[in-house]
Amino acid sequence: MFLESGIGLKERAVHIAITLVLSLTCNAAIQADLDQLYLEVTESSVDFFEPLWTDYSDTIPYSGYFDFSRYRNWRPNYVVEITIPGSGQVAYCYAVLLRQSDKKTFGKRNVARSTLLDHAVRTIRFCCLTSGYADNPFPYPLYKKERVPYVLPEGTGGGWSRKQGMPIDVLGYLSLAVVLLWEELDGETRAAAEAMMVGNALKKREFAGWVPSFGGWHDRMKQDFSSTVGAAYLFPRRGDHETLRNIIAGQALDMVATEHDQAKVRIHYAGQCTERVTVLSENGERARTLLSEELSADRGFVLKIQGTTEIRFANTDETAPAVEFVDIDIREDGRVNLVVDAADQSGVESVELTCDGIPVGRKSNRPYRFMHFPDKGWHTYEATARDRAAPCNERRSVKRTVEVVFGKARSNRYWEK
């Protein structure tokens, strides 16, 4: 077009320069509008959620949370799942307003900056100090408010913890709030935040099967990712820093994986007679078991494989697992920490802990760590391990008996019989 109109190189350069300037100016204006719109939407959180603010300082010094059960369209059975991630999201909204805006008041209620900062920091303290991974955590109060079959916390010393693989973003927004307001947090809260993030983070890369109704588990992979990214990037001096970064790099790839990215392997078994074939995933969980009648030299079976997969051909396992207590520790608050070790050639299906014959916990994956708050007096603990053989074998550990001297509140020593 330029050549046909007789425009020279100089004129062309000027035309291109003007076009670029106008384009950049337009893009800058659009970006400014988007930034303003984002802050306006974020500011609306003040009007929606500030009425839900609940001071909890009588129980946990300088703390509070947003009680979503007071919201007008509340679903009652969601109180446990929503309170921690929801409070974290509001704290993040407040942190963004404090860091990206110089306004003195926010929302139609004209809430002062100092109030937003106060409530955001108190919320972070509540979420971190009620985490089951914090040192001497405070009990998570929502346990007592509602009990539902599908809950977020597993109950670590009365504190909350996120079940790995649960499609709920517990730590994503909360981690961002911690980053933005790190300078405002005291040492106790910072330590609890690190323990919370590292404790809830993935310990190795986890693969998820393709489930169409869940969008291939992309949502679950995303939630595991957001629950690990804070631990991976906020504490670079930790010895597991590089491991955590590699984990989330793998999770990021898996979030965009499709069903066609999984390897499909057809296996023909032509070995010696065996009772069954057990297929184990990388984390040791049983993926599939085929009995002898399903195995045929002229007929194969198809497996969908992700990551490292072990195919184990085994004869009958009649040996029960080895199980023993390797550590028992009683803290000053009366909490009894117990560590159990278990091993079996077919794999350990579960380890169950009882106190005075009453079940107090069950673990399916290592480490087999338990926490219990017994009453004052003598108590006997026993661990039972079950293997993955068919039929199942089980073994009980040697019993360990301890005495809690001052009960739940003040126990600080114990004796073993």
What is the tens place of the pLDDT at every residue in 317-350? 678 899 999 999 887 777 888 999 998 877 888 9
Lowest mean pLDDT across 4-8, 291-295, 368-372, 384-388: 4-8
* pLDDT tens digits along 195-208: 999 988 888 876 66
- Domain extent at residue 333: 322-410
User: Do 11 and 130 belong together in one domain?
Assistant: no
pLDDT confidence bin for 134, thresholds 50/70/90: confident
User: Do 234 and 304 belong together in one domain?
Assistant: no
What count of residues does the chain have? Answer: 417
Last residue of one domain, picked from the residues 314, 333, 354: 314
Other CB atoms within 10 Å distance of the CB of residue 42 = 18
What is the pLDDT, as a whole number, of residue 168?
Answer: 73
Cα 118 off chain centre by: 26
Domain count, the chain: 4
User: Do 225 and 129 belong together in one domain?
Assistant: yes
User: Do 98 and 240 belong together in one domain?
Assistant: yes
Average of per-residue pLDDT across 267-296? 54
What is the pLDDT, as a whole number, of residue 353?
Answer: 95
* pLDDT tens digits along 67-111: 988 877 776 666 667 888 899 999 999 999 999 999 999 999 999
E strand map for 92-184: 105-106, 111-112
User: Do 226 and 273 belong together in one domain?
Assistant: no
User: Do 143 and 287 belong together in one domain?
Assistant: no
Do 276 and 390 form a contact (C-beta atoms < 8 A)?
yes
Average of per-residue pLDDT across 13-18? 62
Last residue of one domain, picked from the residues 289, 314, 339: 314
User: Do 7 and 125 belong together in one domain?
Assistant: no
What is the pLDDT, as a whole number, of residue 202?
Answer: 85
Structure tokens that stand for 223 in this block: 């939630």
User: Do 329 and 282 belong together in one domain?
Assistant: no
User: Do 193 and 230 belong together in one domain?
Assistant: yes
E strand map for 21-93: 53-55, 64-66
Q: Strand, helix or coil at 126? A: helix
Average pLDDT for the chain: 77
**Per the domain annotation, does 347 fall within a domain?**
yes
